[in-house]
Amino acid sequence: MYFTDRGIEELVERRGEETVTFEWLGQQLRTFVDLHPEFETPVERLATWLARHDEDDEE
């Protein structure tokens, strides 16, 4: 189990029933990076991965 699994599990437990838009998610990521600029690179990588993760399915 990765350390991040605990945070992911908490997210699913607390907000798993909610529906969100990518616009909302993008704003939350921007706010997080504004508050924690040291995480800019990992957040950028996550956002890029989320944007492109299904490209292999199209080929």
Mean pLDDT value of segment 9-14? 93
Predicted local distance difference test score (pLDDT) of residue 2: 67
pLDDT of residue 59: 53
Beta carbons of 28 and 39 less than 8 angstroms apart: no
The tens digit of pLDDT for each residue in 12-25 reads: 999 999 999 999 99
Give 39's DSSP letter. Answer: G
Residues 43 and 29 sit within 8 Å (Cβ to Cβ): yes
Residue 1 is predicted with a pLDDT of 59
Helices 22-35, 40-52: inter-axial angle, 10-degree rounding: 170
Q: What is the pTM of this model?
A: 0.77
Residue 26: predicted pLDDT: 97
Phi, psi of 55 (to 5 degrees): -60, -35
> Do residues 47 and 27 lie in contact, with contact meaning Cβ atoms separated by under 8 Å?
no
